[in-house]
Chain A
Amino acid sequence: MATRTMPRVFIPPPMRSLTEGEEVVDVGGTNLGQVIAHLERRFPGMKERLCQDDDIRPGLSVAVAGSVATLGMLQRTNPEVEIHFLPAIGGG
């Protein structure tokens, strides 16, 4: 299996209209902010759906490599990671 050279972003179904149906895209970036900036360049409109005032939208959480990103846009990424956009989880 060829190793990836960029983080892999899973596109939530409602956002696939922006990616022409693409479910998974690989984009560059060493932190989440860069990844989202690259996504926006390739698929204009993406950032508005994910961010509010340059931060992740309230109510949304981002899982990087299986863990919820606690550092927001500064969360480090690397070519091996998967990135998922999910509803924020609270708890009782």
Chain B
Amino acid sequence: MATAENPKYKVIGTRPIRHDGADKVTGRARYGADIQLSGMLYGAMLRSPHAHANIKSIDTSKAEALPGVRAVATSADLPEQGDRVVELGEGAANMRHLTANVLARGKVLYRGHSIAAVAADNIHIAEEAIKLIEVEYELLPPVMDVVGAMAENAPVLNDDIRTESVGSAPPAKDSKPTNVAKHFLFEKGDVAAGFAEADIIVEREFDTAMVHQGYIEPHNATVLWNTDGKLTVWISTQGSFTVRQQTAELLKIPISNVKVIPTEIGGGFGGKISVYLPPVAAVLSKKTGRPVKLVMSRTNVFEATGPTPGSHMKVKLGATKDGKLVAGEAWIAFEAGAYTGSPIGPACMCVFACYDLPHGRVEGFDVCVNKPRTNAYRAPGSTHVAFATETLVNEICEKIDVDPAEFRINNAAKEGVRRVDGPVYARVGMVETVEAIKNSEHYKTALEGKYRGRGIASGFWFNCGLKSAASATVNPDGTVSLLEGSTDIGGSRTGIAMQLAEALGITAEEVIPAVGDTDSVGYCDVTGGSRVTFATGIAAIEAAKDIQRQLVDRAAMIWEVDSSHVSYSDGGVHGPDGKQLSFKEMAAKLHGTGGAVIGRGTSSEATQGGAFGTHCVDVEVDVDLGKVQILRYTAAQDAGTAIHPSYVEGQMQGGAVQGIGWALNEEYWYDEQGEMRNSTYLDYRIPTCYDVPMIDTIIVEVPDPQHPYGVRGVGEVPICPPPAAIANAIYDAVGVRMHDLPMSPPKLLAEILKK
């Protein structure tokens, strides 16, 4: 994995210190909430205490009268959107729903739904003022459960939602509204015939609870609406360009009037793509002529951002007794939350993605319930379905007495296999990740002790390429300033700089990377979808090639030869008769040869691959408490080519621990009235340092043919295997099969006692 095993490369595979490191360990790095502007006002928001209600009236007069209050805003201050569906860089959104989610229009659909906002001289006055806003509600029955929400007579959240089925005729406008916003269907082969070939069939129902990405930095936005009509937005976001577009669309102003300056960002995992605060801060800034800062509280983050859905699933798998999978069927319902848009599509595409399944049928539903509008969370949708499929696979292995690693290898998705949703895999590394686990010290060492067990599971996630841009300026001292538009959540600017360095034959330290604002760098899609190191990396490599071409021309001029006789390799230009100049020497000659050299690169490459991971976990179950302790953990993953192995390992470790939290503790806990009862970290309980062991990593490298250096996205897939791996380990330890996430102590204890 390091250069020793990758002698092709000089920079790739090494572990340089990240370029933004010094700022981040000294507290100097500026995150969204750290922005301070002169004359800045502080905002606070009034949020619904109810899960489902009509808003009869809002009276803001008392709040406005409070000394120190400068402006109050409600949805009346945002333009009507009508019926528009807009592509927002990563996913489409119905603008009427998006604006109603930012500030409720006539109806609140979940507890925490924002209703009004105040800007004041300080945060305490703003918070006092929101308590003075009077809202009259007409309470409606909340719909909290995904299956209940699908029932014919369930209360309907949105009167403009009718079931859309991808590829079907659009639903009639006068048909009855429903909570079932979307329906997907995929088929491959003949499922009935497939199951007829099976010697063994297992079918189970699974439930998973709504969970949050849990990033430590709350959402924030600071906006200045200037007198010339131009807005500047400082925000920590996964995508400055999608913030620009969403803000402009929500305010109905041209995108060129909005400049987004991305600050450092304190985690996102899919949750910091959708816009909540910028349009509100914009309206308050317009009203006051001053910059306005809004920062969410932790409770707001839980109640009113975009967690990932809870689900109900029925999954069925059939295999022959000699261990060949023959058919699979899945029925998956996801909680969309208040408005449509859960990751049900990708869930359907992932449910059988790890396997070569001759016959399959997958049906999925996106269902509105009175919970916050859901969003992506690391490999969105894939963790849910991996929990189902991967526990069924182990159940089959037990019944036919086959080693679960062996079974996975024999049935693995590989090059040439057609997925149930249609496309055929290019070269992928599922087999290699299972083999890595099978050959690991961990798997080969027997686990001893009472109530201890071991489980493995695999997972899949796509790499979406999407669009990126970068530019790179050569400095006279032989360094390169690299400007790119992908906000950096986990060290990506260094991973991108390393690819530029590799292409130019210079060191990582000789590249100075920066993340630009929306006015200074070309369009980049969001930091998400396991795409940045892949796609922005390609853009940087293209920028390096552009620099090479320009340096070749300059060298040809110096040597008075035709450019066709000059080439760029090994960190310099080479001409006839052994003439050569290093990159550094060429850089020193810039001023005398025509001035600045600026390379530019873009990428809209789609990846072919996708990433696979396989995890192995040992647990010990406290049979008196139902508590599960993770004893040992190993994660293997195909990284294509690991650019910076430490950061690849970091993604694997972080993803695995998020998956452990999802498996064992984390859930949105609602009461009958639809009130979330655990909206603090103390009660929601993400894993702490004391809950988990070291996470061992095995990086497998099966290069993606679509990237010059073979990069695959690594950020997302490590969250997929943990819940199933842990469920399988629990079964091995105490003989109970869990079909319900989280596998928290009360639930596990109840199952143990049933035995």
Contact = CB atoms under 8 A, between A and B. Distances in A.
Task: Verify that A and B bind, or say they do not.
Answer: yes
8 contacts: A12-B166, A86-B423, A87-B166, A89-B345, A89-B462, A90-B464, A92-B529, A92-B716
Nearest to A56: B87
B608 A91 contact: no
A43 to B, nearest CB: 12
Given A60-B166, A67-B706, A13 B380 contact: no
A12 B739 CA distance: 31
Interface in B619-652: none
A92 B380 contact: yes
A88 B92 contact: yes
A51 interface: no
B345 A12 contact: no
A50 B86 CA distance: 15
Interface of B: 85-87, 90-92, 165-170, 183-187, 213, 268-271, 273, 343-346, 348-349, 376-380, 421-426, 461-462, 464-467, 526, 528-531, 604-608, 706, 715-716
Contact of A85 (B166, B183, B270): B166
B348 A70 contact: no
A84 interface: yes
Nearest to A55: B87
Nearest to A75: B606
A86 B379 CA distance: 17
Contacts of B184: 87
A1 interface: no
A67 B610 CA distance: 11
Given A13-B185, A67-B606, A86-B421, A91 B166 contact: no
Given A14-B166, A14-B167, A82-B423, A92 B604 contact: no
Contacts of A6: none
Nearest to A12: B167
A3 B270 CA distance: 43
A59 B376 CA distance: 14
Interface string A52-92: 10000111100100111111000000000010111111111
A44 interface: no
Interface of A: 10-15, 45, 48-50, 52, 57-60, 63, 66-71, 82, 84-92
Contacts, number: 130
Contacts of B348: 87
A32 B565 CA distance: 40
Contact of B465 (A15, A48, A49, A68): A68
Contacts of A84: 421-423
B530 A91 contact: yes
Given A14-B185, A63-B423, A84-B421, A89 B464 contact: yes
A91 B380 contact: yes
**B167, B185, B379, B465 — which one has the most chain A CB atoms within 10 A of its CB?**
B167
Contacts of B170: 48-49
Nearest to B345: A87
A89 B90 CA distance: 8
Given A63-B422, A87-B344, 9 more contacts: A13-B185, A14-B168, A67-B706, A90-B528, A91-B716, A92-B269, A92-B270, A92-B380, A92-B715
A10 B422 contact: yes
Contacts of A50: 167
Nearest to A11: B167
A72 B493 CA distance: 29
Contacts of A52: 85
Contacts of B529: 89-92
B528 A92 contact: yes
Contacts of A60: 166
A67 B168 contact: no
Nearest to B88: A58
A75 to B, nearest CB: 10
Given A86-B422, A88-B92, A68 B166 contact: no
A67 B531 CA distance: 14
A70 B198 CA distance: 40
A90 B91 contact: yes
Contacts of B380: 90-92
A70 B716 contact: no
B345 A49 contact: no
